[in-house]
Amino acid sequence: MGGILATYPAQAAAAIRASFADRTNFLLQMGGMVVNNGFFLILWGLFFAGFKSVGGWRAADMALLLGLIMTIVGVSGVAFGGYRDMAAAILSGEVDGLLTQPKPVLGRLLSRDSLPSAWGDLIVGLIILIGLGGLGWRQAPLALVGLSCGLVIYLAAATAFACLAFWARGARSFARDLTDFMILFSSYPGSIFSGVSKLAVYTLLPAGFIVLAPVKLLRAPSLGALTLVVGAALVYALITLAVFHLGLARYRRGLTPTNG
pLDDT in tens, 186-195: 999 988 898 9
Between 135 and 241, the higher pLDDT residue: 241
Measure the CA–CA gap between 205 and 198, rounded to whole angstroms. Answer: 10
pLDDT above 70: percentage of residues in the chain: 97
pLDDT above 90: percentage of residues in the chain: 73
Measure the CA–CA gap between 155 and 147, rounded to whole angstroms. Answer: 12
- Rounded to the nearest integer, the mean pLDDT of the chain is 91
Question: What is the pLDDT at residue 64?
Answer: 94
Identify whether the C-beta of residue 162 lies closer than 8 Å to the C-beta of residue 87: yes
The 10s digit of each residue's pLDDT in 40-65 is 899 988 988 888 888 889 999 999 99
- Indicate the residue type of 95: V
Residues 6+ apart with CB under 8 A from 33: 117, 118, 119, 120, 121, 124
Measure the CA–CA gap between 65 and 255, rounded to whole angstroms. Answer: 41
Question: What is the pLDDT at residue 3?
Answer: 55
Between 221 and 260, the higher pLDDT residue: 221
Question: What is the pLDDT at residue 170?
Answer: 83
Question: What is the pLDDT at residue 2?
Answer: 55
The 10s digit of each residue's pLDDT in 63-107 is 999 999 999 999 999 999 999 999 999 999 889 888 888 778 999
Question: What is the pLDDT at residue 139?
Answer: 87
Question: What is the pLDDT at residue 35?
Answer: 95
Question: What is the pLDDT at residue 258?
Answer: 63
Residues 6+ apart with CB under 8 A from 12: 79, 80, 111, 114
Identify whether the C-beta of residue 149 lies closer than 8 Å to the C-beta of residue 225: no
Identify whether the C-beta of residue 121 lies closer than 8 Å to the C-beta of residue 67: no
